[in-house]
Amino acid sequence: MFTGLITDVGEIVALAPKGDLKRVRIVTSYPLETIVEGASIACGGPCLTVVAKGASADKGWFEVDVGAETLARTTAQSWTIGTKLNLERSLRLGDEMGGHLVLGHIDGVAIITAIDAFDGMKRFWIEAPEALARFIAEKGSVALDGTSLTVNKVRGRRFSILLIPHTLKVTTWGERKVGDGLNLEVDLMARYAARLAESLK
């Protein structure tokens, strides 16, 4: 479980197919001694398990295996060497809950349709897959590429979010362009509310 508050931006430095899996090596600024094999790290949104770690050229790295389901449902299918990923380590008891509860289970891929820049900030308009649009509400929460964000406006399948200069600086959002895909995880509470409403019909 995560909060959607990004704590590092990693970079993919190696990719290797392993049957239906893809082994991915990610350089990180996390202290190597604090990374435990078997631990969960959200990488660009998906929760992935550390299977190896090490260091080269004075840089620490960890490796994860990306499964077929994750490759089919997320932007992981298009990751290449040099791709940067928002990273967040799993939540520990006692940690500050600054975002919202994020599971790292991606529901689908959303697309950036417009970007408006002003006063150092950026407003993104994003189109959600049709099946997921009903879970997105104004002033509600959404996780995009692992980042906990507040929905500003909703227009059909499209919704907007506003990112402040700090977030643009410390995440991959400063590099995002129109047409980019984003790993979308809808809010857990919205999912359960919709399921409850369906059962009461």
Q: What is the pTM of this model?
A: 0.91
Q: Where are the domains of the chain?
A: 8-89, 108-199
The yes-or-no verdict on residue 201 having pLDDT over 80 is: no
The band of 37, judged by pLDDT with boundaries at 50, 70 and 90, is: very high
Q: Contact, 32 vs 8, CB < 8 A?
A: no
Q: Contact, 108 vs 129, CB < 8 A?
A: yes
In this chain, the answer to whether the domains covering 8-89 and 108-199 adopt an identical fold is yes
Q: Contact, 48 vs 37, CB < 8 A?
A: no
Helix or strand holding residue 160 (H, E): strand 158-163
Locate tokens 């919202």: which residue? 100
Q: What is the DSSP letter of 144?
A: E
CATH architecture of 8-89: Beta Barrel (2.40)
Q: Contact, 89 vs 41, CB < 8 A?
A: yes
The pLDDT tens digits for 47-75 are: 999 999 999 888 899 999 999 999 999 99
The pLDDT tens digits for 92-129 are: 765 666 667 788 899 999 999 999 999 999 999 999 99
The band of 197, judged by pLDDT with boundaries at 50, 70 and 90, is: low
CATH number of this structure's domain 108-199: 2.40.30.20
Q: Contact, 110 vs 144, CB < 8 A?
A: yes
Helix or strand holding residue 88 (H, E): strand 84-89
